[in-house]
Chains A and B, each alone.
Chain A
């Protein structure tokens, strides 16, 4: 059951295998209630995340994208998240030029033990996306039209 009462939105989460995915697992094991809007994509490291993943998701009709990795200085591969931090920050400032609300994209750090923090992050982010409403940016995405028609 979703914690939020409204219609579910499409939120994509890119989580690093070593920290945030574990953190989400911890939250699950701890049976913390979370919104179900998030679709998680597990990646080896936040440094693996090409900013194009985020752009492709947003252009493909995602309502929000959340990236989460290990805390800086805690990266399993020592420095992947340092590169990620720079790339994602640059990307965040670029989104408004496309006409995409920058609040639809966030990146953060959650360690494997921080189940509580994960619950807080995902609840806050999903609530923010619900406040923004469904994204209108999906130039001629035929499959999305079909999905939307099916939902109606």
Chain B
């Protein structure tokens, strides 16, 4: 892939001034890429971008403070970086962003489902991208899958495929998939009656094992060792394994991301039991977008919940 070589040369060019560049390299299986920390030219050769580049490299930024680092970013990753910068959690000067036009990334759950009955995802030996399809080198011969069938949900509503804030942009900019996010997924969810939604969350959350992978994968969860979920004082969560504590943990995560979540979907991807966590976060995003017209990770203004107006034109208070 020509664009891959162009990104590699952009990385090699920037590397001397940086402590490392974070991108993607080969993962444990042919269908999985893993984050790659590139420190010298030999590392740069291992770089791969494209359909498997799912991980959000912005996750590592808060822990790499003090050194200038480079990131290869998709549009959604750049939004996470933008939000971290907007909240002064990282310094924009200490980051070198290399952007490229993203055309969607794989959702392993969908890929596994698509391969059902044909082979295990771990048995795939290679992957080739051909325009709108991916071709898998599977034990029983080649398997062709349409990208749109196995791409992550977030890619179908992608407004910002290009890292607009990139210092270096490689390749030609891709067209946005949609012009505006209509939150159709939430509207569909809200076709359910209130009681059905309660039952839905009780059922979904009953699977939660409280591994906190969602928190650890979230680029905007910057409290790390000081997370209120692990705090004894105040003791928000008990050690009980009931649905209430599991759901409450997700509510902590969602409220702490209100107006900050960029919808990168890492929480949902990291979830080992497939709970639709992004629904909770998107509910907050929709609310913040509607009230304050703020798009996390794109707008440069102060995040809306860190500021206020004396008169709030969008807030219709209840008349008593």
CB pair B248–A55 under 8 Å, yes or no, is yes
Tell me if B194 is interfacial: C-beta within 8 Å of chain A.
Answer: yes
0/1 interface trace, chain A 98-126, chain B, CB 8 Å (1 if under): 11110000101000000001001100100
Tell me if A30 is interfacial: C-beta within 8 Å of chain B.
Answer: no
Quick one: closest A residue to B319, CB to CB? A108
Task: Summarize B's interface: helix, strand, loop or mixed.
Answer: helix
> B198: which of A56, A85, A91, A99 is its contact (CB, 8 Å)?
A99
Quick one: closest B residue to A135, CB to CB? B198
Q: Which of A131-147 contact B (CB under 8 A)?
A: 136-142
Q: A55 to B255, alpha carbons, bound, how many Å? A: 10
Tell me if B182 is interfacial: C-beta within 8 Å of chain A.
Answer: no
Cβ–Cβ < 8 Å partners of A137 in chain B: 198
0/1 interface trace, chain A 56-79, chain B, CB 8 Å (1 if under): 100110000000000011000001
Tell me if A87 is interfacial: C-beta within 8 Å of chain B.
Answer: yes
Quick one: closest B residue to A79, CB to CB? B308
Q: A79 to B244, alpha carbons, bound, how many Å? A: 33
Cβ–Cβ < 8 Å partners of B304 in chain A: 86
Size class of A's contact patch?
35 or more
Q: A80 to B251, alpha carbons, bound, how many Å? A: 23
Tell me if A83 is interfacial: C-beta within 8 Å of chain B.
Answer: yes
0/1 interface trace, chain B 176-211, chain A, CB 8 Å (1 if under): 000000000010011000111111111001000000
Cβ–Cβ < 8 Å partners of B301 in chain A: none
The residue in A72, A100, A139 that gathers the most chain B C-beta atoms within 10 A of its C-beta is: A139
Q: A8 to B199, alpha carbons, bound, how many Å? A: 26
Tell me if B318 is interfacial: C-beta within 8 Å of chain A.
Answer: yes
CB pair A52–B243 under 8 Å, yes or no, is no
CB pair A98–B310 under 8 Å, yes or no, is no
Cβ–Cβ < 8 Å partners of B248 in chain A: 55-56, 59
What are 13 sample pairs from A and B whose C-beta atoms fall under 8 A apart?
A93-B283, A93-B286, A94-B287, A97-B280, A97-B283, A98-B201, A99-B199, A100-B194, A101-B194, A120-B320, A136-B195, A139-B247, A140-B243
